[in-house]
Structure 1
Amino acid sequence: MDKGGKVFVAGHRGLVGSAIVRELEGQGYGNLVVRTSKELDLRDQAATAAFFAAERPDYVLVAAAKVGGIVANNSYPADFIYDNLMIQNNVVHSAYLNGVKKLLLLGSTCIYPKMAPQPIKEEYLLTGPLEPTNEPYAIAKIAGIKMCQSYNRQYGTRFISAMPTNLYGPNDNFDLTTSHVLPALLRKFHEAKVAGEPEVVVWGSGTPYREFVHVDDVARASVFLMQNYEGNEPVNIGSGVELTIKELALKIGEVVGYRGDIRFDASKPDGTPRKLCDVARIHELGWRHQIELEEGLKSTYGWYLSQLA
């Protein structure tokens, strides 16, 4: 990826997109193109086409997406499938029409079957039913992978895709209705500490296993793949380390300094029982995560406090 080339980061204000911009700037990529969603609605085919025709980016990293946790996915399934399909369709097709040299589409490990063997290898895609609570989002992202592969086959493009596991970090969404589990718990524990509440209630049984990777590691991996990967198959991005939701809650309580009780509400959905991704492919390419969970939780909580201030 030529450092003088024009790089379009779609979704640059989001959790992943903002980290990718920081990483690119840190590596000396000075010709970045960004647009807010108000300036450019990537769901709008005509607007997206006009943007690509005018800017003619050399490289594209697609971090723009509608994302959320179990509550958001359950509440807005139509939004999740429509918005993500439209963003991908418009960006990938416009990238092809305007001669983009290379494109990276970011998805999520929720594309894999609910009961996939663990750890989850990339080849397990489409081998079983999806987790029902996030099926619309997952189907949209699977379509995005297949779109990249199809354009590569038919048009000889260099469109790659990567699937990060559960990620977190600065610029995360801390809204209790639409956020993922880690930022939601950080906020819950902080507010309980401030209010002096005797207990924090956590959705689900606490038994499912999850893997987390810091967004700065995902940004490094994204740029690394743009520089080093030419394959047609998706690449998992993760830490390769898992823990239960109960263990996560205890770690977050410790980082926040909450001294009350933690109660798990097993009447609420757990989601997938285990979701550890196999990171052998990206390890073989030469990338490994650098930020361990304890360090990442402390820095993310510090960022959250700075935003409150």
Structure 2
Amino acid sequence: MTGTIFVTGSGGMVGRNLLEHAHAAGYRILAPRRAELDLRDAEAVSRYVAAHRPDLIIQIAGKVGGIEANRREPSAFLVENIQIGLNVVLAAREQGVPQLLNLASSCMYPRDHLDPLQEDMVLTGMLEPTNEGYALAKIATARLCRYIRTEEPALRYKTIIPCNIYGRHDSFDPIRSHLVPATLRKVWEAQQAGSPAVSIWGDGTARREFMYAEDLADFVWEAVERFDDLPDEINAGLGDDYSVNDYYHVAAQIVGWDGRFVHELDRPAGMARKLVDVGRQRAFGWQPRFTLEEGMRRTYEYFLGKQARSAAGAVAA
């Protein structure tokens, strides 16, 4: 396609990777930050879409965080993500935007399935309690896209359901970060402090699927350019997963730390397994490029760069 694309959440990890991708140069992109457009304000979103008349909206924006952040602020994760998702999709419908790509989350799937999670399994079981508010908001937005397609077929609003994502521009804040950046930081801090041990929440056997953010950006641009071929709902993932213990061991190899791991069995570990089925993705003809080791190494190099810049800034101040 050609034309104007409105990208929400352009300041977050996924949004920044999307805008840095080579394919972004082929489009006129609107990427307002929160200071310019607060997506929680329905009237402001509607005015913005009416003024700019984009040909496609990519809805990425949302309040995100790891287990600890979700447990501490469940109401905020529910309310803010519902506000953002519904405001963007309803403004698109109101202004007749013909195409919309909604990025959801694999948190939408039931918690007790050990087999790969297929797109039609949403709302077929209980959600994981540690991120239920976030998941409910993502389900509501995805369902709204489906309802609008049914009511107004000229408006083709589709949903991509990515597995967990990590990479450049990720958050390494111990309170808000997800598994991969949190693991890299914890192991790095242990190395810096000369600590002999690093703790892992739970027994480490829970399995997770994490895809490098640059791969997700590549998939989204492929979806933009082949929008007609894209299923209405489609998972985006690796097709395989690793245990939490595996992520820590890879991090230790990358950082060069040779200590031991201690399991905190009284801490929450989340779902036993969360692996998305990539059958539709394969039929669409796309697959990720980066291995776990490559992606984690690139993420660690990015983290070291951030640490160096922070240290330089502190010295300059």
Query: What TM-score do the two structures reach when normalised by structure 2?
Result: 0.94
Q: 3-state SS of the aligned residue for 2:225?
A: helix
* Aligned twin of 2:146: 149
Tell me whether 210-219 or 230-239 shows the greater mean CA deviation.
230-239
Deviation at 1:99, TM superposition (A): 2.2
* Aligned twin of 1:127: 124
**Over the residues paired in the alignment, what is the CA RMSD in angstroms?**
1.3
Amino acid across the alignment from 1:268? R
Query: What TM-score do the two structures reach when normalised by structure 1?
Result: 0.96
Question: Percent identity among equivalent residues?
Answer: 38
Aligned pair count reads 306
Deviation at 1:17, TM superposition (A): 0.6
* Aligned twin of 1:247: 246
Amino acid across the alignment from 2:137? A
| Distance in 1 between residues matched to 2:24 and 2:137, nearest whole Å | 31
| Distance in 1 between residues matched to 2:131 and 2:225, nearest whole Å | 31
What runs of 5+ residues in structure 1 fail to find an aligned partner? none
| Distance in 2 between residues matched to 1:249 and 1:295, nearest whole Å | 15
Matched, 1:72 2:59: no
Q: 3-state SS of the aligned residue for 1:236?
A: strand
Deviation at 1:26, TM superposition (A): 3.4
Amino acid across the alignment from 1:43? R
* Aligned twin of 1:215: 213
Amino acid across the alignment from 2:132? E
* Aligned twin of 2:13: 15
* Aligned twin of 2:224: 226
| Distance in 2 between residues matched to 1:242 and 1:35, nearest whole Å | 35
Tell me whether 220-229 or 104-113 shows the greater mean CA deviation.
220-229
Deviation at 1:232, TM superposition (A): 6.1
Amino acid across the alignment from 1:129? M
| Distance in 1 between residues matched to 2:236 and 2:192, nearest whole Å | 35
1:272-291 alignment, distance < 5 Å: 272-291=271-290
Amino acid across the alignment from 1:265? E
> Which of structure 1's runs of 4+ aligned residues deviate more than 3 A?
25-28, 229-233
| Distance in 2 between residues matched to 1:147 and 1:251, nearest whole Å | 40
| Distance in 2 between residues matched to 1:138 and 1:301, nearest whole Å | 28
CA contact (8 A) 1:102 1:226 kept: no
Amino acid across the alignment from 1:263? V
| Distance in 2 between residues matched to 1:267 and 1:229, nearest whole Å | 46
Matched, 1:93 2:115: no
Deviation at 1:228, TM superposition (A): 2.3
Deviation at 1:227, TM superposition (A): 2.5
Deviation at 1:233, TM superposition (A): 3.8
| Distance in 1 between residues matched to 2:227 and 2:271, nearest whole Å | 30
Deviation at 1:117, TM superposition (A): 4.6
Q: Could you give the per-residue CA deviations for residues 57-81 of structure 1, whole angstroms, max 9, x where no partner exists?
A: 1111111011111101111011001
